[in-house]
Amino acid sequence: MKTSDIEYQADGARLVGYLAVDETTVGKRPAVLVAHEGFGLNDHAKEIARRLAEAGYVAFALDYHGDGKPLTDMALAMSRIRGWIADPTGSLARGRAGLEILLRQKETDASRVAGIGYCFGGTLVLDMARSGEDLKVVVGFHSGLGTGRPAAPGGVKSTVLVQIGAEDPVIPAEQRLAFEREMTAAGVDWRMILYSGAGHSFTNPNANLAGRPGFSYHEPSDRRSWRAMLDAFDEVFA
């Protein structure tokens, strides 16, 4: 497998993403843009990119905070995220720049591209879908569902899958219902899977280290949500 760091610029920031490609596969193949959790590009996102490469995809883990590493200032991270939820202009610019890097790879089949994201990264890829990016499918894992720019009727080109822990304190039932109404009104091909016993960051084995109530790894939901993502890919990319 080939992995490499790729530096790029967007929204006035120096960004460093992580590319993973299985070199034993010949020719073009579907590609997946990976958007990391809210505190920065970390080993979790890079491992996801490698797993996707092993499964036969070109994977690029974008960087939306900068310098290709996690932030140590959590207050700064949350301040940025709150701003991007209210007005996603900056986060969308960073997401699109990452997508452009993915599309430039010689192995990428530009007609079969997905976006997946974790926590705020899931919000980002959902906002990319809302803005009309040509992503065939987007998948959000424990992703925030709110946005300052709701989807317009007919404006979403993507199939949408969101996967949420039923006990997630960050994404309450009211937010899920609002998302359902938004997607339905916009005519989106969407689905939502709720996982019992799962809280926020249920895909991250290190989630418990944060010591935050409601943030914890949940192995059954991690495993099931990965399978659901691959099933969505198989359906859309067939």
Phi (first) and psi of residue 175, to 5 degrees: -70, -40
pLDDT single digits (tens) 24-72: 988 999 999 999 999 999 999 999 999 999 999 999 999 999 999 999 8
How would residue 147 be classed by pLDDT, with cut points 50, 70 and 90?
A: very high
Residue 6 has pLDDT above 90, yes or no: yes
Residue 153: pLDDT over 90: yes
Q: What is the mean pLDDT of residues 129-136?
A: 98
Which pLDDT does position 52 carry in this prediction?
A: 98
Contact yes or no for 115/135 (Cβ under 8 A): yes
Confidence of residue 175 (pLDDT cuts 50, 70, 90): very high
Give the pLDDT score at 210. 74
Q: Is the pLDDT of residue 148 over 80?
A: yes
Give residue limits of the domains in the chain. Answer: 2-237
pLDDT in tens, 86-113: 999 999 999 999 999 999 999 999 999 9
Average pLDDT over residues 122-146: 98
d(CA 39, CA 78): 8
Rounded CA-CA distance 181/224 in Å is 25
The pLDDT value given to residue 233: 98
* Cβ atoms of 128 and 138 closer than 8 Å: yes
2-237 architecture in CATH? 3-Layer(aba) Sandwich (3.40)
